[in-house]
Structure 1
Amino acid sequence: MRARALMIQGTGSDVGKSLVVAGLARLFARRGLKVRPFKPQNMSNNAAVTADGGEIGRAQALQARAAFVAPSVHMNPVLLKPQSEIGAQVIVQGRRVGTAKAREFQDWKPRLMEAVLASYSRLADEADLMLVEGAGSASEVNLRAGDIANMGFARATGTPVVLVGDIDRGGVIASLVGTRAVIDPADAAMIRGFIVNRFRGDPTLFADGMAFVADRTGWPPIGLVPHFAEAGLLPAEDIMGLRQGPGATAGVPVVAVPVMPRIANFDDLDPLRAEAGVAVRLVEPGSPLPAEAVLVLLPGSKTTIDDLAFLRRQGWDIDLAGHVRRGGRVLGLCGGYQMLGRSIADPHGIEGPVQTVAGLGLLDVETVLTPDKNLTRVTGATIAGGHPFDGYEMHLGVTTGPDTARPFARLADGRTDGATSADGRIVGTYVHGLFAGDRQRRAWLGGLGAATSDLAYDALVEDVLDRFAAHLGSHLDIDRLWAIAGEKP
C-alpha cells in the first residue's frame, strides 16, 4: 500500500515549516503511525550526524526524533551548506560531493532529483505517512525551472501541499494571496489548503482574514495556529531562529558568543540558553564582547578562515585578549577550537585560496584543513572531572600541538579530543552537543559560578514536542490533513 504523503510549503523562510512538520510527526506518531520526515533540499549550516556517518539538516533530525525514528541521510538527500554569499558545499545523501555557486547549482538539479526521488521512495516503502517539508518560499518563480525543493518535487511525486504563512511577521494575507497570483496554475492546483501560523491575540478578529484568503485563492483554511512560545526551546534551523531567543537575565553570569557570518551547529547553545542560572549573550557585529562575561564561547563555523578574519575586523580578537588578561575563560567548539590555535593552513584550497593564516594564539596548536570530513557520533568523558557526554564530530582538519597533550576529553573508543591551556582557562574541542548532557552542562555551570538546576534537557525537548503536537491538534483540522495526505496523485 502506498504511503500517504503531505507536503508543508511556506510563503517564505522561517515561517514555521520545520516545526509544523515536527509537531505533526509527533502527533501522528502518537497515533501509532509509522511517520517519516523528508526534506528534498535544505540550506543550513546547522547539521546533524546520522548513525551511518552522514549529515543532514538539524531540523530533519528533530523531526525524526518527533517521529520516534533514528535520523537517516535519506530524510534530507540534498543539503547545501553556505560558504559564501553565492556558493555552498553540496551534500548528497549525507556525503560531500563538491562546492557549487548559485548559478552553477541550477545545472546540478536534474541529477540531484534522481537522488531525491530514490531517497523518498526508500523511506516511503517503510512508512504509513510521509511528511515533506519544502524550502524557502513556494513563490520563487525565478527558481521554478528544475526545482527539486518545492513544487518540482510535489509535481514529480504527486504529493499534495498545504501552504503555511506567518502572521507574526506581517503581511500574511498578501503573502498567501500573492503566492496564488504568481505561481503556475498547475502548481497552485497542488495546494489543498493553507495554515496561518504564530497568531497573537483574539482569533475572532482574523476570521474575515481567513475567509478573504480562502475566497481569493480557492484554498480551504486548515487552521489558525496561535503563537507557541516554548517552540524557542527546540533547536532552530536558521540563524534567524537563534536570534529570537530570550534576553539576558540580570545578576547571573554571562556567556558571550560572537555571532559570525558562517556560524554552524549553533544548536550547541540551546541547552545553555534553557538554563536560568546563566545568560547566553549573542554578540552581534558592531558590538564589543561584554567585559562582564565569565566565558567567551567561539562556536562552530562553516568557513573557519573567513570567520576568523571577520572576528578580527570586529575587534573581537582585542576584546578576547582583554578577557583572558582579566582571568576569563574561553571555550572553542570545532571551528572555534581551530581559531584558538597558532595557525590554520588550507593547503588544498577547501575553504578558498590556498593559504595559511595566523590564529588567535590562545592555544599552542596548529590546524591543517584536510579533504576528508570527520562525521562521527561520539561518547566519552572529560579528562578533568570525568563528566560524561554524548555528541558528535563534524569537521574538516587535523589539529596537533603541545596543548593537545592536555586533552579536553577521552572518547569511548580510546582516542583523546581537544586541547587545554596550561592554566586550564582556554579549552578547545571538536565535540558538538556537549551541553545537552545534563552532568556535563552542570559541571560547566558550576565552574562558571552559575547556579545549577535539575533541568533534564532531553526530557525538556520531548515535553515541548508533545505539547506542541497537542497545540497543533487543537488548532488544525487534523482529519482534513489526513484526508489530504491520502489523495491520489
Structure 2
Amino acid sequence: MTGRAIMLQGTGSDVGKSLLVAGLCRIARRRGIDAAPFKPQNMSNNAAACPGGGEIGRAQALQARAAGLQPSTDMNPLLLKPEGNRRAQVVLNGKALRSEEAAAYMANRGSLLPIVIEAFDRLRSAHDLVIVEGAGSPAEVNLRKGDIANMGFARATDVPVVLVGDIDRGGIIASLVGTRAVIDTEDAEMIAGFAINRFRGDQALFEDGVRFIEDSTGWRNFGIVPWLACAARLPAEDAVVLGQAKPKDGAILIAVPMLSRISNFDDLDPLRAEPDVEVRFIPPGQPIPREADAVILAGTKSTLADLAMLRNEGWDYDIIAAWRTGAHIVGLCGGFQMLGNRIEDADAADGLAGTADGLGLFDMTTVMTRKKVVRPISGTTIADDDAVTGYEIHTGLSQGPALEKPFSRLEDGVLDGAVAAGGRLIGTYLHGVFASDAFRSRWLEKLRSGRSSTLNYEDGVDTALDELAEGLEEALDVDALLALAR
C-alpha cells in the first residue's frame, strides 16, 4: 500500500505553513485518517529528540503530535542547524553528519534528494496520507537548481501543491501572482490552488482580490484563514516571534537574552503561557533589566560563539549583577555550560574551536566532544522529587564540584545538571523542563510567593491543536484539499 500525499508551499518564510500542516494533521486524526507530516528539508535550531534517538525540527514533532504519532526521523530527513558565519550542521536521518559552508551545501544538496525520497516513501508505505511542508518559497528562482525542499521535491514525487500566502504582512496579491509569474511552467502546473492565511477584518472586502488572483494565476482558492488566537498558544519554530510579547503589569519578569544562535527557545513557552508571567526576550543592544525576577540562558547551537556575543553585549555583567542582587538564574543546555568556569572545544564540535572562560557561577568545566546526546528522557528533581519530562540534544561533558549537587535524577539513573544557593541557581541539560507543571509551579513560587501555577501546559497544547483544526475546518475547503492528494 502506498499512501496519498499533498504539499503546502509558501510565498515566503513564516507564512504559517507549519501550523497549517499541524492543523490539517489534527483534522485528519479527528476524521479517522491515518496521516503523517513530512518536511524534506528544514533549517532551524529548534529540534526535537525522537524515541530511539535522532533529531528533527520541532515543528514536525508538533505536527506528529497533532496526528497522534510519535516523532520519527523520517518526518524530517534533512535538518540544517545554523552555526553562524554562513555555516550549518547537516543532520541527515536524525544524525549529525557534518558542518558545512552554505555554498558547499547548496552546490551538493541535489545529491541528497534520493535519501529524502526514501524517507518520504517509508512514510507513505506506513500511512494513508502524508502532508508535506515546503521550506521558504518556490519563487526563490535563484535557488531552484538542485532544490529538494519545494518544487524539486514536488516534481520528483508528483505531489500536488497548495500555495500559502500571509495577508497580515501585506502584499498578498503580488506574492501569489508574482510567484506564478516567476516560476517556470512545469513548476506552476504542480500548484492546484492557494490559501490565504492570517486574515483580519471583513472578508467580503477582499472578494475582488481573490478573483484577481484566480484570474491571474489560473489557480483556485481553497479558503481564507482568519487570524486564529489559538496559534499563539502553540510552539513557534522561527525566532522572529520572540520579540512580539506584550508587557504584563505586575507580572513575574523573566529575562531571556536573545543569543544569535539561540536554540529550542520553545523551552520558554510554558512560562510565556502563564497569565502572571512576562517572558521578555532581550535583543542585542539592550541591557538585561535590573528588575528581572529571573534570567534564563536558553540553549544555543554554538556555546562558545554565543558566549562571545553575550560578553560583547555586556550581558555577562548584567547576569552577575542580577545574581548578586537576588535574582534567580537558570541555564538550559548550552546556557548551563556558559554558567560554568570554562568551556573547551578543540575540534569545533559545537561550531567554533577554542577555549573561553564562562560566567563562573558553577564550579565546573565543559569539554565539547563530537559525541552528541539525543534522546527523550524523564526524571525527578533531587530537591523536591517533582517529575520532569523533556529531552536532551547536546554535545559536551561537564565535570566539576558543582555537579555534586545535581538538579535531577533521570530515569536511567544518570544525574543531570547542578543546583546552588537553595535552588536560586539551576543548570540542566534537560530541554522542556518547564513543561512539567509541578516543577514550574514550585519554581514560580520561589520567584515570588503566592504566584504558583495552576496551568496544565500539555493539555493546553492539545486544546489549541483542536481549536486550530476547528478553525481550519470552517475556513478551508478541507474536503477539496484532501481530495487533491495523490
* TM-score range relative to shorter protein: over 0.9
Instruction: Give the secondary structure class of the aligned counterpart of 1:380.
Output: strand
Show CA shifts across 1:328-378 (max 9, x none): 110000000000001100011224553211111111111000000001211
- Size of the aligned set, in residue pairs, is 485
Runs of 4+ in structure 1 over 6 Å off: none
The one-letter code matched in structure 2 to 1:59 is A
* Aligned equivalent of 1:448: 447
Matches of 2:315 and 2:11, distance apart in 1: 37
Show CA shifts across 1:380-429 (max 9, x none): 11111111111111100000011100111111111101112355422111
Instruction: Give the secondary structure class of the aligned counterpart of 2:311.
Output: helix
Instruction: Give the secondary structure class of the aligned counterpart of 1:83.
Output: strand
* Aligned equivalent of 2:208: 208
Structure 1, unaligned runs of 5 or more: none
Give the CA RMSD over aligned residues. 1.1
The offset of 1:78, in angstroms, is 0.1
Instruction: Give the secondary structure class of the aligned counterpart of 2:109.
Output: helix
Instruction: Give the secondary structure class of the aligned counterpart of 2:126.
Output: coil
The one-letter code matched in structure 2 to 1:136 is G
1:287-306 aligned at under 5 Å gives the runs 287-306=286-305
Matches of 1:458 and 1:265, distance apart in 2: 17
Do the aligned partners of residues 311 and 267 (structure 1) sit closer, same or farther apart at CA in structure 2, a change above 3 Å counting?
Answer: same
* Aligned equivalent of 1:13: 13
* Aligned equivalent of 1:127: 127
Q: Is 1:93 paired with 2:72?
A: no
Matches of 1:117 and 1:242, distance apart in 2: 33
Matches of 2:355 and 2:241, distance apart in 1: 34
Matches of 1:447 and 1:440, distance apart in 2: 11
1:65-144 aligned at under 5 Å gives the runs 65-144=65-144
Contact 1:403 / 1:422 at 8 angstroms: preserved in 2?
no
The one-letter code matched in structure 1 to 2:71 is P
* Aligned equivalent of 1:225: 225
Instruction: Give the secondary structure class of the aligned counterpart of 2:454.
Output: coil
* Aligned equivalent of 1:407: 406
Contact 2:440 / 2:453 at 8 angstroms: preserved in 1?
no
Matches of 1:68 and 1:368, distance apart in 2: 38
Do the aligned partners of residues 85 and 177 (structure 1) sit closer, same or farther apart at CA in structure 2, a change above 3 Å counting?
Answer: farther
Matches of 1:72 and 1:158, distance apart in 2: 23
* Aligned equivalent of 1:248: 247
Matches of 2:85 and 2:150, distance apart in 1: 22
Structure 2, unaligned runs of 5 or more: none
* Aligned equivalent of 2:465: 465
The offset of 1:471, in angstroms, is 0.4
* Aligned equivalent of 1:427: 426
Show CA shifts across 1:136-162 (max 9, x none): 112111111111000000000000000
Contact 2:301 / 2:351 at 8 angstroms: preserved in 1?
no
The one-letter code matched in structure 1 to 2:237 is E
Matches of 1:342 and 1:4, distance apart in 2: 54
Matches of 2:151 and 2:74, distance apart in 1: 19
The offset of 1:85, in angstroms, is 3.9
Contact 1:50 / 1:71 at 8 angstroms: preserved in 2?
yes
Instruction: Give the secondary structure class of the aligned counterpart of 2:84.
Output: coil
Contact 1:14 / 1:241 at 8 angstroms: preserved in 2?
no
1:340-419 aligned at under 5 Å gives the runs 340-352=339-351, 354-419=353-418
Q: Is 1:166 paired with 2:166?
A: yes
* Aligned equivalent of 2:482: 482
Matches of 1:308 and 1:460, distance apart in 2: 34
Contact 1:234 / 1:464 at 8 angstroms: preserved in 2?
yes
The one-letter code matched in structure 2 to 1:401 is G
Q: Percent of counterpart pairs with the same letter?
A: 54
* Aligned equivalent of 1:282: 281
The one-letter code matched in structure 2 to 1:67 is A
Matches of 2:84 and 2:428, distance apart in 1: 25
* Aligned equivalent of 2:316: 317
Matches of 2:453 and 2:389, distance apart in 1: 20
Matches of 1:85 and 1:198, distance apart in 2: 33
Contact 2:83 / 2:351 at 8 angstroms: preserved in 1?
no
